Amino acid sequence: MIDIHNLSYQIAGQPVLRDVSLQLAKGGVVAMIGPNGAGKSTLLSLIARLLPLQSGSIVVDDLQIGEATDIELARTLAILRQDLTVASRLTVRDLVGFGRYPYHRGRPGAEDRELIEAALKLFDLADLGDRQLDTLSGGQRQRAFVAMAYAQDTDYLLLDEPLNNLDIAASRALMEVLRDLTRQRGRTVVIVLHDINYAAAYADRIIALKAGEVVADGAPSTIVSDSLLQDVFQTRAKVKTVDGRPIVLV
Amino acid sequence: MSKWLCLIALAALASVSLFVGVIDLLRVDPAEIWPLIRDSRFPRTVATLLTGASLAIAGQIMQLIARNRFVEPMTSGTGQSAALGVLLTAVLFPTAPIGLKMGLASITALGGSVLFFSLIRRLPPTQPLLVPLVGLIYGGIVGAGVTYVAFQADMLQFIEIWMNGEFSGTLRGRYELLWLAGIAAALTYLVADQFSIIGLGEAVSINLGLSYRQVVMLGLLMISVVTALTVVTVGIIPFVGLVVPNMVSLMAGDNLRRTLPITAMAGAGLVLIADLVGRLVIYPFEMPVGTVIGVVGAIAFLWLLYKGGRRAG
């Protein structure tokens, strides 16, 4: 479980998160939605210790963020951020291989290599393994980074807008792989999404943030509504129910 | 396979180097051959190989830490800071043993590198070419400081030795410190993955459980020690750390576990060839190796700026 307690965060005096408390149970897909600047990425970065805590606390399983060792956390949670620019010339296989670093610490073994190949296969990268990252399309590069996070083999996977650059087929394929991970292996996926329809279709729970506060939290069918869109995004869009799940008419 | 070819070519060049000099080995009294090789030719050949290999690796590591392909210690202030350290030791403690000189030079080199990295942190990431420009200016300012101190202390002719690298003074008993530089550079191979990951940025490094700051400091320490030892023994040799890692990266990528041996061999080869050229081009006189590499390196640098500018970030 990820236990977030009274978390606040400021950047240059401006509050980005205000007293957020959340419990994310183990297993399942949790989608975070909210307008730009709502604090979603900051929340993810704080959970993944990429930013130092200012006030409040975060505990992942029994690991206290800020106190647990780097390597323990690296085996427990993986984060994929939005910014995926890479100056290094690496092959896809090299990059995915670095996902195994927390286990092999620079000396990869047979098991690591097997897992790398499995990750390449799962994310449809088997033919691209030896290609340099800078020769790939945006979507292929995105998948390579997701595969790296997958190879890290952690119970918790935090993904910040992973559907950027992906076409509809790749987006659906990725969401299905993520959902399978939660169903078959009990993994927990926390994912920032902009498209509420993807959130409604694949998430078990949606958390809506606005101006650094949690304003809605629950199963997609219970919270996605005209009034949510009006309150959180200040936009008038209709929500219809098709096959039992909410669809935003854009 | 190609690695072995490189190694064989390097060995061949090194043997050629043993025969190049004012005294023709084939016409000299046989009794003098061994002392000549032992005291001059062999030390000089080994010195070029060690210098080239360690400078190329130092450049590679510096580029990964800076996440910028256009920096290297000798043109970004580390070399000049090392020279400042040697000079200050010579002024303040003229009788200091070489170990102390080297230690102080390493410390000033480390300080110079840390200052350089704190300078470039403030630069906008959208302007990657600002980083080498700031490095050149910063190195120039430190270099000017060295000249000023030397002028005040009436030691201008001494700093020539440190500011302009050359191997003509390399003799048995005066180059052995370079082995330490070689060892420092070789040790990076043990943590090759860590440095590759550092090149992917702070967020990826933390995510993978690396202590980012610790690895960066380790890298800077290695760069500083290699630079200081090189400056103390042979002087500043620019561009090796810039040209070699870029060429290797273009051909073989940036996974250090795979490329560090190639980088080391290519660096060793470049400095050895440049020294051979310097010894032959105005034979029986010599041209400093720094000058030869400066000419070759400047052309290569321009080519890289032209070709690689778009992907520099």
Backbone angles phi, psi at B112, to 5 degrees: -60, -40
Q: Is B282 on the interface with A (CB under 8 A)?
A: no
For residue B310, the model assigns a pLDDT of: 47
Q: How far is A19 from chain B (nearest CA, A)?
A: 25
Q: Show Cβ contacts of residue A249 under 8 Å, excluding neighbours closer than 6 positions.
A: A237, A238, A239, A240
Buried b (16+ CB within 10 A) or exposed e, A42-72: bbbbbbbbbbeeeebebebeebebeebebbe
Angle between helical axes of B130-152 and B78-92 (0-180°, round to 10): 10
**Cα separation of B127 and B313, whole Å?**
8
Same domain, A102 and A218: no
* Contacts B212 to A, Cβ<8 Å: none
Backbone angles phi, psi at A4, to 5 degrees: -105, 125
Same domain, A55 and A117: no
Same domain, A12 and A64: yes
8 A C-beta contact, residue B3 and residue B258: no
Top-confidence residue, B157 or A3? A3
Top-confidence residue, B300 or A129? A129
Backbone angles phi, psi at A8, to 5 degrees: -125, 150
For residue B313, the model assigns a pLDDT of: 37
Backbone angles phi, psi at A249, to 5 degrees: -85, 115
Q: Is residue A237 part of a domain?
A: yes
Summarised one tens digit per residue, pLDDT across range A182-214 is 999 999 999 999 999 999 999 999 999 999 999
Q: How far is C-alpha A94 from the chain's CA centre?
A: 22
- CB contact under 8 Å between B190 and A88, yes or no, is no
- CB contact under 8 Å between A106 and B312, yes or no, is no
Side-chain-side CA neighbours of residue A171 (13 Å)? 16
Same domain, A130 and A239: no
For residue B99, the model assigns a pLDDT of: 84
Same domain, A162 and A246: yes
DSSP three-state, residue B211 = coil
Tell me the mean pLDDT in the region A78-95. 89
* Contacts B312 to A, Cβ<8 Å: 87
Q: Is residue A173 part of a domain?
A: no
**Cα separation of B112 and B20, whole Å?**
37
Bond before B132 cis per omega within 30 degrees? no
Q: Is B214 on the interface with A (CB under 8 A)?
A: no
Say which amino acid occupies B70: F
**Cα separation of B264 and B268, whole Å?**
6
Closest CA to A97 of A109, A75, A113, A84: A113
Same domain, A101 and A50: no
A158 membership: H or E segment, kind and range: strand A156-160
* Contacts B192 to A, Cβ<8 Å: 106
Q: Is B127 on the interface with A (CB under 8 A)?
A: no
CATH number for B48-308: choose from 1.10.3470.10, 1.10.260.40, 3.90.79.10, 3.40.630.40. Answer: 1.10.3470.10
Summarised one tens digit per residue, pLDDT across range A156-190 is 999 999 998 889 999 999 999 999 999 999 999 99
* Contacts B206 to A, Cβ<8 Å: 48-50, 70
Q: Which of A60, A100, A101 to mutate to test the interface with B (most CBs of B within 10 A)?
A: A101
pLDDT more than 90, % of chain A: 85
Per-domain residue ranges for chain B?
48-308
Same domain, A98 and A65: no
Question: How many C-beta neighbours within 10 Å does residue B26 have?
Answer: 6
Tens of each residue's pLDDT in chain B, 313 residues: 578 888 999 999 999 999 888 888 888 888 888 888 999 999 999 999 999 999 999 999 999 999 998 899 998 999 999 999 999 998 999 888 888 888 999 999 999 999 999 999 889 888 888 999 999 999 999 999 999 999 999 888 888 888 888 898 888 988 999 999 999 999 999 999 999 999 999 999 999 999 999 999 999 999 999 999 999 999 999 889 999 999 899 888 899 999 999 999 999 999 999 999 999 998 888 988 988 988 887 787 677 667 754 444 3
Number of domains in chain A: 2
Same domain, A7 and A68: yes
- CB contact under 8 Å between A89 and B197, yes or no, is no
**Does the pLDDT of residue A112 top 50, yes or no?**
yes
- CB contact under 8 Å between A98 and B209, yes or no, is no
Same domain, A49 and A95: no
Report the relative pairing of strands A2-11 and A188-192 from DSSP bridges. unpaired
Summarised one tens digit per residue, pLDDT across range B117-161 is 999 988 988 888 899 999 999 999 999 999 999 999 988 888 888
Tell me the mean pLDDT in the region A20-29. 95
Q: Is B254 on the interface with A (CB under 8 A)?
A: yes
The band of A154, judged by pLDDT with boundaries at 50, 70 and 90, is very high
- CB contact under 8 Å between A78 and B67, yes or no, is no
Range of the domain at A134: 85-153
For residue B252, the model assigns a pLDDT of: 87
- CB contact under 8 Å between A98 and B200, yes or no, is yes
For residue B311, the model assigns a pLDDT of: 47
Same domain, A89 and A35: no
Same domain, A212 and A159: yes
Residues of A with CB under 8 A from a CB of B: 45, 48-50, 69-75, 78-79, 81, 83, 85-91, 94, 98-99, 101-102, 105-106, 132, 134, 152
Same domain, A22 and A100: no
Query: In a 10 Å sphere around its CB, with 0-12 CB exposed, 13-18 middle and 19+ buried, how is residue A37 labelled?
Result: middle
Tell me the mean pLDDT in the region A50-56. 95
Question: How many C-beta neighbours within 10 Å does residue B202 have?
Answer: 14
> Helix H segments across chain B?
2-19, 30-36, 42-66, 78-92, 98-120, 130-152, 156-163, 177-187, 192-198, 202-207, 212-233, 240-252, 256-280, 289-308
- CB contact under 8 Å between B210 and A106, yes or no, is no
Residue of A nearest to B251 (CA): A89
Residue of B nearest to A72 (CA): B209
Q: Is residue A133 part of a domain?
A: yes
Q: Which of residues 152-211 of B touch A (CB under 8 A)?
A: 190-194, 196-197, 199-200, 202-204, 206-211
Q: Which of A130, A153, A176 is the last residue of a domain?
A: A153
